[in-house]
Chain A
Amino acid sequence: MLLEIHEPGQTPLPHAGDSDTAAVGIDLGTTNSLVAIAVDGRPEILRDALGDGIVPSVVAYLEGEEEPVVGRVATRILEAEPHLVVSSAKRLMGRGTGDVASLGGHLAQKIHDDGTGGMVKLDVGGRVVSPVEVSAEILRTLRQRAEMVLGKGVDRAVITVPAYFDDSARAATRDAARLAGLEVLRLVNEPTAAALAYGLDRGAEGLYAVYDLGGGTFDVSLLKLEKGVFQVLATGGDAALGGDDFDRLLAQHLIDTRGDAIEAGDVKPVLAVARRAKEMLTDAAEVDVDLDFGGKATRHKVTRADFDVLVMPLVARTIEAAKVVLQDAGVTAEELSGVVLVGGSTRVPLVRDKVAELFGREPLGDIDPDEVVALGAALQAEALTRGSDTLLLDVVPLSLGLETMGGLVEKVIPRNTPIPVSRAQDFTTYQDGQSAMAIHVVQGEREMVDQNRSLAHFVLAGISPMVAGAARIRVTFTVDADGLLTVTAKEALTGVEAHVEVKPSYGLSEEEMGEMLRASLENARADVATRLLAEARVDGRRLVLALDSALAVDGDLLTAEERAAIDEAKAELEVAMSGEDRDSVIAATDALEAAGRPFAERRMDRNIRRALSGVEVSRLETRLQAG
């Protein structure tokens, strides 16, 4: 390869123009993830062969399979074998074991407690994985999809995070990208990305509120748009509130009305049923829900009004957060030019109604709320690699501070301060001859340390002995353009440079990161083709299992000939699955689906006549229709 020589400063932007690799925008969501690319200011979602842009943020760790399975296929495994599957890992990003104790009842995975504190890990399919590794699997899948569609390597990405993500969750996201072999061009806040997608699309100007209710997080941001500048004035939200909670409330309601105790293993299927019911209630006024667990099948009617009553307290919390953001920005609802809805959960009619009521106008929704964040991220990825006139000016979402005497918090950077930012605060010693000082960095709005998130503990050692109050210890907080915090401390008076050690409370240590990177290299990641083959096999296996269990119950619905045709198609699929050719696995799977279709239809008929296993049938039905 020839080396190009340029005048200093005249170097063209690397990767500009027809480069070998591409930069993409990624929406790494709690429930769903997407990848998009922008070319000449036009963003586009990268879809699979079937036109599906969504990769469910679900990862299955199958016993005996080295490669985990990600996305739609993993979702199907979720209902049957929940112990092999991790979903909603985003909610655990940057969290400690203690943090998730309160979520314990809601988590279907077992928390792996090795007694070391630190970041939470999960026991799944006989392995121990961290949420960072789970997220890395999702990112790897998105990257592979992008590479397949674009036909070239993808090594850089703009990844979106909830505006309300704290520092450890942001750092964990960046670590996940590193594990997936992606350089993070920028972490962009989801509402800002959404505004970018809307703003660039329409040349909008004025004040915009972005209401973003996803699967597991809620954000609301207020932005000022002016001639290509996207200035965030204020942001707020709740990093642990989303559509998952709607599902949970509905599932709890169903279990309560049924009145039976439920085994932990049955929780996930009920949650999945609740989610489907929630989605149907967007258009339907009422739905029938079938539950089948503990050896008993029951049917329940749920009306939209019932559902609204259940979720109203959660929706009210989002509305309160939105009011605080308006107040923080010193803006009234009448001054807004528009309201943008983001996230699948904004399809819930009650959410739309309450948002419209608060802001006094119908929200904009003409860009698919599931896609808008990824589209904005893609635009920013292009802007960063090829240059652009747009400018994103974001803020610190949650105040950053230090623990002081008596467990109180001294705020160093208040929330909604524009980033990048650097602020210093001076502290002193309180004992004669004190030679070290413990510094505890926290994030949050509350007065007391234990009510906020603990981000890091520092020890500033080597302070030269002085009388109490004589030392001048300057602690500097620096937040970069990604919203990531660095803290340094220095004894200023004597000019002594003291050593500062940073220990992120819930992040991955450099050693852990190094270990994971090494492991991923040593295992020589399966290439795209093997991974797709593995997925096709898993898909085929699921179909066989689903058919077998249906045949065990309703085998009498078939004539001997029909049964023979199914058995033959099944045998052919088994043969294909033992081979290495993905296309023949898919073809054999399709053939078996076709052979089984009349059977599924007959089962549905029978199901109407006698109360049958709702979950089983609907799963088979979904599978067959998906083919």
Chain B
Amino acid sequence: MEDAICAGCKSLQPPGQIDHFARLGLPRGFAVDGAMLERHYFAAQRRFHPDRFAGRGAREKNFSLQHATLINEAYETLRDPLSRARYLLETAGRPLPGDDGRSIADPELLMEAMEWREALEEAETPEQVAGIAARLATETRAVEARIGDAFAGHNIDGATRETLRLSYLVKLGIELKRRGAPRLARI
């Protein structure tokens, strides 16, 4: 976690330009333990939240607002696997294709996505929809595991490809939710 209390004057300093992982005191990487993320998030907000500086001057209040805002942004970005992967790619200088306006050009991925979509369209009974939801949950976990492996092995191409795959699985999950299927468990 950022050390933002000035050792000399004991007053809160403005937040520095550090990445989301450093802001929450977590090692940079795709593998993030949900419970640990939350613990670090709460600890950071306990230190920097504006409620802690309600009695201070305008300058410190303003700094605390900036800190708390950035801590929330870090937490929001890192708690969701897809946005976490996107963030890792972006900060590695390789933003996910599609995020910067370019279209996706991977025929194999497109084909896969179409197959999922067709299966969903053909599903009629709630049981069939639930079956797709279960398959989707399994596939999502597998893809997330592969994203983790790719980042751990500094394989940015592999991570990019699997993150693209995850992004259409997430879209599919939203559509499934609209059709009343049980939600995917949050990991």
Contact = CB atoms under 8 A, between A and B. Distances in A.
Chains A and B bind each other: yes
A16 interface: yes
A587 interface: no
A417 B76 contact: yes
Contacts of B183: 327, 330
B73 interface: yes
Interface string A1-32: 00000011111011110000000000000000
Contact of A385 (B5, B54, B75): B54
Nearest to A478: B69
B10 A7 contact: yes
Interface stretch (A241-249, A418-426, A434-442, A514-522): A418-426
B50 A418 contact: no
Interface stretch (B41-49, B81-89, B145-153, B161-169): B41-49
B72 interface: yes
Given A7-B10, A330-B183, A330-B186, A480 B65 contact: yes
Given A9-B9, A9-B10, A391-B46, A421 B69 contact: yes
A383 interface: yes
Nearest to B42: A229
Contacts of A389: 46
A528 interface: no
B155 interface: no
A9 B6 contact: yes
A103 to B, nearest CB: 33
Contacts, number: 69
Given A327-B183, A330-B186, A14 B69 contact: no
B51 A186 contact: yes
A481 B65 contact: yes
A15 B54 CA distance: 11
Interface residues of B, number: 25
A12 to B, nearest CB: 8
A393 interface: yes
Contacts of B76: 417-418
Interface string B53-81: 01110000000010011001101100000
Contacts of A481: 49-51, 65, 68
A384 interface: yes
A317 to B, nearest CB: 20
A420 B55 contact: no
B60 to A, nearest CB: 8
Contacts of B56: 11
A185 B51 CA distance: 9
Given A16-B55, A480-B65, A481-B50, A8 B186 contact: no
Given A14-B55, A185-B54, A422 B45 contact: no
B138 interface: no
A15 B9 contact: no
B184 to A, nearest CB: 8
Contacts of A287: none
Given A8-B9, A327-B183, A481-B49, A186 B72 contact: no
B128 interface: no
A15 B65 contact: no
A226 interface: yes
Interface in A292-348: 327, 330
Contact of A13 (B10, B49, B50, B55): B55
A8 B10 contact: yes
Nearest to A158: B54
A155 to B, nearest CB: 14
A392 interface: yes
A10 B45 contact: no
A384 B65 contact: no
B72 A384 contact: no
B130 to A, nearest CB: 15
B46 A420 contact: no
Interface string A429-462: 0000000000000000000000000000000000
Contacts of A16: 55
Interface in A367-402: 383-385, 387, 389, 391-393
Most chain A CB within a 10 A radius of its CB, from B6, B49, B69, B73: B69
Contacts of B55: 13-16, 384-385
Nearest to B65: A420
B10 to A, nearest CB: 3
Contacts of A11: 56
B112 to A, nearest CB: 26
Contacts of A7: 9-10
Given A229-B42, A330-B183, A417-B76, A383 B10 contact: no
Nearest to B12: A9
A44 B106 CA distance: 65
A384 B54 contact: yes
Contact of A420 (B6, B9, B68): B68
Contacts of A8: 9-11
A10 B10 CA distance: 7
Nearest to A231: B42
Contacts of A229: 42, 45-46
Given A9-B6, A391-B51, A418 B75 contact: yes
A481 B177 CA distance: 32
Contacts of A227: 42
A418 B49 contact: no
A177 B46 CA distance: 28
A330 B80 CA distance: 13
Contacts of A186: 51, 54
B73 to A, nearest CB: 7
B22 to A, nearest CB: 19
B51 A384 contact: yes
A7 B8 CA distance: 10
Contacts of A417: 72, 76
Nearest to A417: B76
Given A8-B9, A420-B68, A420-B72, A391 B50 contact: no
Contacts of A387: 52
A478 B50 CA distance: 14
A421 B73 contact: yes
A226 B11 contact: no
A393 B42 CA distance: 9
9 contacts: A9-B6, A9-B9, A9-B10, A9-B11, A186-B54, A384-B51, A391-B51, A418-B72, A421-B69
- 6 shortest interchain CB distances as A-B pairs: A9-B10, A13-B55, A9-B11, A384-B54, A481-B50, A8-B9
Given A9-B11, A15-B55, A393-B45, 5 more contacts: A383-B51, A384-B55, A420-B50, A478-B69, A481-B68
